[in-house]
Chains A and B, each alone.
Chain A
Amino acid sequence: MYERQILICAGTGCISSGSLQVHEALRKELQKHQMEDKVRIILSGCHGFCEKGPIFIVYPEDIFYCEVQAEDIPELVEEYLVKGNVVERLLYKDPVTEDAVTSHQEIPFYSKQKRLALRNCGVIDPENIDEYIIRGGYQGLERALRMESLDIINMIKSSGLRGRGGAGFPTGMKWEFAYRNESDKKYVVCNADEGDPGAFMDRSVLEGDPHAVLEGIIIAGLAIGSDEAYLYVRAEYPLAIRRLRTAIAQAQEYGLIGENILGSGFGFKINIKEGAGAFVCGEETALLASIEGERGMPRPRPPFPAVKGLWGEPTCINNVETLANVSLIMRKGTDWYSAIGTEGSKGTKIFALTGKVNNTGLCEVPMGITLREIIFDIGGGIRDGKKFKAVQIGGPSGGCLPESHLDQPVDYDSLTSAGAMMGSGGMVVMDEDTCMVDLARYFLSFTQSESCGKCTPCREGTKRMLEILERITKGQGVAEDIPRLQKLALAVKDGSLCGLGQTAPNPVLTTLRYFQDEYEAHIFDRRCPAGQCQELLTYYIDPELCTGCRACTRVCPTGAITGEKKEPHVIDEEKCINCGSCAERCKFDAIKVK
């Protein structure tokens, strides 16, 4: 009989901060204390709070230890497991009050979340199918096996589930199209390409709860009348791929994949295809081309994949998170699901919260929550007491929303009308030190280099937009640049073949819409209000703070700083090349920029 259960996170984030070493140390330490049969260790999937990893939770008490290292283990075992004294220094501390929190339920990062797609992540051992089954796994499939295809489709339709891969297309409708296109062969494809930089929700689901996705895939196959699926996972996700392979093998052994599933007569096969990692390969038609062994370039739609997809056959493509929701909806029912969220957007969405917030990581929230709640409650507000400036939502081709939108509900339609999009759920928070022009330039440089090169507006247009933005951030902007950017952005949006080009201008359009004054400051005043664009900075020395120590004069490569010893120094603007070396060297914080 085990007395305690310890969950050590073995998601990619915690593994890289040392959780496997923690596991090894714990194993040895338990042996030393002869406690191996009293404490059960589980390597779990991601808890989302990667910033505080490795995460280490002790049950049944539910004590949440974070940033645990192998060196901490002897103390943890001795003090807590043996003597029962909570090791305070390893508890989570509230960033504002600095109070220690013992249970993870009390941590604001978790308390506002609603973890549906992530229901098992961090809770079960993803390499053990029994743990999934104990928590209700494969009940949805069992139910679906007793239903007609159209009834399954209607159930998903009335749940209101919309695709989590970006476009938010109603999943039930997509299934119905694929169902109605008759063919001897049909495919289900699970899109696990996850190319948005900084997004890792799909990876976490695959690593932490692979069966939830497999179950969703099989249900989709049952609904549209398909007997084979491809799971397209980027090769940069080796752990996800390994766990998926393990999960498929276990499900096969249990008769949940393969011929005659649970004696129903329905057979289904799941293949894994490793993608070489191009952002555009997440676009559904490019993804299909890639599975077929072609270069990942989008194809014109129509025909849509539901009509003519993989190898010309009707194909239903869904995102990982979408499918993880499917298995839950089938188990818990439509009414339960559609009670969560808003009128047009049901359920929850996982966001990868990063940038200048106190708590970064993965959070799953009900649709309709406000941006303010995500950023200030879950995210714990802006780091270092700075001021919130904007939030980029929807990945590199999402939009950038200002403070006036903080109380906006997060759902598909509101985000789109504000010029942003749900996208795959990237959320980057910016503070007052972020330059909005530079931000647009940064995202565009990503989309430009990831453009597949097929169509003219995207390939050439994003390049010219990027060049204009580069010139503006270097102080070489001209008045016509703003209308020119606007014109180009609309042309690229309106004329591009696939979603990449059609959305790539969003960061430019939204920053122009909400922060045009910053563009103007760069162009007309040759000034970067956020003080980020190197070429536009003016360094000066605050005479009050300068002690005349001469440290700066020794590092300035152009000899721009002069002054007598122990007297305040001055910087010659003409000679200064804005390298910033002096500011880095000054011990008295006397060198400022404007």
Chain B
Amino acid sequence: MISLTINGQNVEVEEGSTILEAADKLDIFIPTLCHDSRLAPVGACRMCLVEVERARALMAACSVPVMEGMVVHTDTERVHAARKENLQLLLANHPLDCLTCEKNGDCRLQDYCYLYGISESEYEGERKDYALDESNPFFIRDMNKCILCGLCVRVCHEINGAGAIDFTNRGFDTKVTPFFDDPLVESPCVFCGMCVDVCPVGALTPKQGIRQGRPWELQMVRTVCPFCGTGCGLELYVKDNKVVKVKGDPLSLASRGQTCVKGHFGIDFLHHPERLQKPLIRKNGELEEVSWEDALNLIASKLKRLRGEELAGFSSARATNEENYLFQKFLRTLGTNNIDHCARL
């Protein structure tokens, strides 16, 4: 264990922990824009700068490992000045269209500007002016709002592995783009939507939720994705009993916030008028709504008439491993080995 002092308070943390983790243990707040505990730290946004005694420059709490006897200050004039300057600089190059921005109320840039009382930048000059990338059906990329925290790039490389986007150009012209700055649909992107979830500002906006409700109007419901047996955790955002948009649930032990395109964006079926909600049985050539009991009885009576190899079972990827196991066990008890699974198709 390593022991250090932050703002006069002592704390012990595991060797290899960062200053940010140590501060977290003491409930000392340090703002971050580019940090995500699931990703390797990069120290890019410089919001988490803190003063470490005997260090020449300010240090990024998210990436600097703790050292025995370290003395850290997070609440000094120098620290606040540096953070404010960073916010000033980000705002000078950010469209202040919070009124219509989907991220309003859930934006970390906005939160920190609020915290530091910054309403506009004192710097005037060139601003980014890029066309929107609306090429895919799932989300809009507005690189004018991008603060280049790199979270989307890292989630795409480190977690998804698609590596569809990266930084291009240098200096003021630095931009996150797919290869050759082509539209995202022409890239190796698999539209898992994880970049959308990690973006701290309004640069990546899911199309499903646009003008469907402000963040504070939406109720978050945690659930498990119904699409396959992996069991990824999802956060459903609900307004008036309608699911407006979906995010990965970072607290889910099965998925830690990771999603695929289906879980993240495939929610149209939920409120679709043609969605099957009750079992149907064909009677006299017409499908009729029946109770679950009647439906199961019908299946049981038909199964009883079949013997051994006459019977075959076909299972689904929507079922969990345990359910699939039970299914094949059940069929074998009925005397058949004719068992298959949709995932083999």
Spell out A's residues near B (CB within 8 Å). 278, 280, 295, 297, 299-300, 302-303, 448-457, 459-464, 467, 484, 487-488, 491, 493-497, 502
Interface pair B44/A456, CB less than 8 Å apart = yes
Contact A459 B171 (CB under 8 A): yes
- Which residue in chain A gives the minimum CB-CB distance to B60? A300
Q: Is A487 in contact with B85, judged by CB distance below 8 angstroms? A: yes
CB distance from A498 to the nearest CB of B (A): 10
Is B245 interfacial (CB 8 A cutoff)? Answer: no
Query: In the complex, what's the smallest C-beta–C-beta distance from B52 to chain A, in angstroms?
Result: 11
- Pairwise interchain contact A460-B90, C-beta atoms closer than 8 A: yes
* Distance of A461 Cα from B171 Cα, bound (Å): 10
Beyond A455-B45, A464-B123, A467-B124, 13 extra complex contacts between A and B, CB < 8 Å: A300-B43, A450-B171, A451-B172, A454-B150, A456-B148, A457-B46, A459-B148, A459-B172, A491-B85, A494-B82, A495-B49, A495-B58, A497-B43
Nearest-neighbour CB distance to chain B for A282, whole angstroms, equals 14
Q: Which one, B162-170, B226-234, B247-255, B275-283, is touching chain A? A: B162-170
**8 A Cβ contacts from B54-100 to A:** 57-58, 60, 63-65, 78, 81-82, 85-86, 89-90, 92-93
Question: Given that A453-B171, A455-B46, A459-B172 are contacting pairs, would A494 and B93 also be in contact in the complex, using a CB cutoff of 8 Å?
Answer: no
B41: CB under 8 A from chain A?
yes
Query: Residue A491 contacts which of B81, B92, B124, B125 (CB distance < 8 angstroms)?
Result: B81
> What are 25 A-B contacts with C-beta separation under 8 Å?
A299-B42, A300-B60, A448-B171, A449-B172, A451-B172, A452-B170, A453-B167, A453-B171, A453-B174, A454-B148, A456-B86, A456-B89, A459-B148, A460-B89, A460-B90, A462-B171, A463-B172, A467-B124, A467-B125, A467-B126, A487-B85, A494-B57, A495-B46, A496-B46, A497-B44
CA distance A493 to B41 in the complex (A): 21
Within the complex, what minimum Cβ distance (angstroms) separates B331 from chain A? 50
Cα A456 to Cα B200 with chains together (Å): 15
Chain B residue contacts of A496, Cβ below 8 A: 46
The residues of A that contact B148 with a CB separation of less than 8 Å are: 453-454, 456, 459
Interface membership of B122, Cβ < 8 A = yes
Give the docked Cα–Cα distance between A89 and B333 (Å): 109
Check if B170 sits within 8 Å of A278, measured CB to CB.
yes
Q: How far is the CA of A453 from the CA of B149 in the complex (A)?
A: 10
Please give the distance in Å from A115's CB to the nearest CB on chain B.
34
A448–B46 Cα gap in the complex (Å)?
Answer: 18
B125 nearest in chain A by CB position: A467
Write the chain B residue with the least CB distance to A487: B85
Contacts of A454 in B (CB 8 A): 42, 44, 148, 150, 167, 174
Interface residue SS majority, chain A? helix
Which residues of chain B have a CB within 8 Å of any CB of chain A?
Answer: 41-47, 49, 57-58, 60, 63-65, 78, 81-82, 85-86, 89-90, 92-93, 122-126, 147-148, 150, 166-167, 169-174
**Does B171 contact A451, Cβ atoms closer than 8 Å?**
yes
Give complex CA distance A491, B90 in Å.
13
Q: Which residues of A contact B63 (CB under 8 A)?
A: 300
What's the Cα separation between A494 and B47 when bound, in Å?
12
Query: Which partner residue on chain B sits nearest A295 by CB separation?
Result: B167
| Complex contacts, A494 vs chain B, CB 8 Å | 57-58, 78, 82
Query: Bound state CA distance, A452 and B169, in angstroms?
Result: 8
**Distance of B90 from chain A, by nearest CB (Å):** 6
Give the docked Cα–Cα distance between A452 and B174 (Å): 8
Do A497 and B126 touch across chains, with their CB atoms under 8 A apart?
A: no
A455 touching B171, Cβ below 8 Å: no
Give Cα A494–Cα B81 distance, bound, in whole angstroms. Answer: 10
Residues of chain B within 8 A (CB-CB) of A299 are: 42
- Give the residues in chain B near A464, CB-CB below 8 Å: 89, 92, 123, 125
Are B65 and A302 closer than 8 Å at their CB atoms? yes
Inter-chain contact B41/A300, CB cutoff 8 Å: yes
CA distance A450 to B65 in the complex (A): 29
Q: Determine the chain A residues whose CB is within 8 A of the CB of B89 once the complex forms.
A: 456-457, 460-461, 464
Which residues of A lie under 8 Å from residue B172 when comparing CB positions? 448-449, 451, 453, 459-460, 463
Q: Which residues of A contact B82 (CB under 8 A)?
A: 457, 491, 494-495
| A454–chain B nearest beta-carbon distance, Å | 5
> Are A451 and B170 interface neighbours, CB within 8 A?
yes
**Chain B residues near A457 (CB, 8 Å)?**
46, 82, 85-86, 89
Q: What 3 A-B pairs have minimum CB-CB distances, sorted nearest first?
A: A453-B174, A460-B89, A300-B43
- Minimum Cβ distance to chain B for residue A193 (Å): 15
* Docked CA distance A149–B307 (Å): 81
A461–B45 Cα distance when bound, in Å, is 12
Q: Tell me the complex Cα distance, A570–B203, Å.
A: 57
Q: Is the CB of B171 within 8 A of A449?
A: yes
Nearest residue (CB) in A for B89 is: A460
Distance, CA A288 to CA B178, complexed state (A): 24
Expressed in whole angstroms, the minimum distance between the Cβ of A297 and any Cβ of chain B is: 7
Task: List chain B residues, Cβ under 8 A from A493.
Answer: 57
A448 partner residues in chain B, CB cutoff 8 A: 171-172
Is B126 in contact with A463, judged by CB distance below 8 angstroms?
Answer: yes
Residues of A within 8 A of B42 (CB): 299-300, 454
Distance (whole angstroms) from the CB of A347 to the closest CB of chain B:
25
Q: Complex Cα distance A389/B41, Å?
A: 45
Whether A453 touches B57, Cβ cut-off 8 Å, given contacts A459-B148, A461-B89, A464-B89, is: no
By a CB distance below 8 angstroms, the chain B residues around A449 are 170-172
List, in ascending order, chain A residues with CB within 8 A of B65's CB. Answer: 302-303
Contacts of A462 in B (CB 8 A): 171
Alpha-carbon gap, A478 to B319, bound state (A): 69
Of A280, A303, A457, A464, which is in contact with the most chain B CB atoms at under 10 Å from its CB? A464
Expressed in whole angstroms, the Cα–Cα distance for A451 and B170 within the complex equals 6
CB distance from A12 to the nearest CB of B (A): 26
Contacts of A453 in B (CB 8 A): 148, 167, 169-174
**In the complex, chain A residues whose CB is within 8 Å of the CB of B41:** 300
Q: How far is the CB of B181 from chain A (nearest CB, A)?
A: 15
Q: Kindly list chain B residues whose C-beta atoms are within 8 Å of the C-beta of A450.
A: 170-171
A295 and B85 CA atoms in complex are apart in Å by 27
The smallest beta-carbon distance between A501 and chain B, in angstroms, is 9
- For residue A259, give the distance in angstroms from its CB to the closest CB of chain B: 36
Q: Is the CB of A300 within 8 A of B170?
A: no
**Which residues of the other chain, A, contact B123 by a CB distance below 8 angstroms?**
464, 467
Contacts of A460 in B (CB 8 A): 89-90, 92-93, 172
Set of chain B residues within 8 Å of A452, measured between Cβ atoms: 170, 174
**How far apart are B165's CB and chain A's nearest CB, in angstroms?**
12
Give bound CA distance, A450 to B47, whole Å. 22
- Given A300-B41, A456-B45: A484 and B122 within 8 A (CB)? yes
List chain B residues, Cβ under 8 A from A297.
167
Q: Please report the C-alpha to C-alpha distance between residue A92 and residue B123 in the assembled complex, in whole angstroms.
A: 54
B147 contacts across to A, CB distance below 8 A:
456
> Which of A280, A456, A484 lies at the interface centre, i.e. has the most chain B CB atoms within 10 A of its CB?
A456
Specify which chain B residues have a CB less than 8 angstroms from the CB of A491 in the assembled complex. 81-82, 85-86
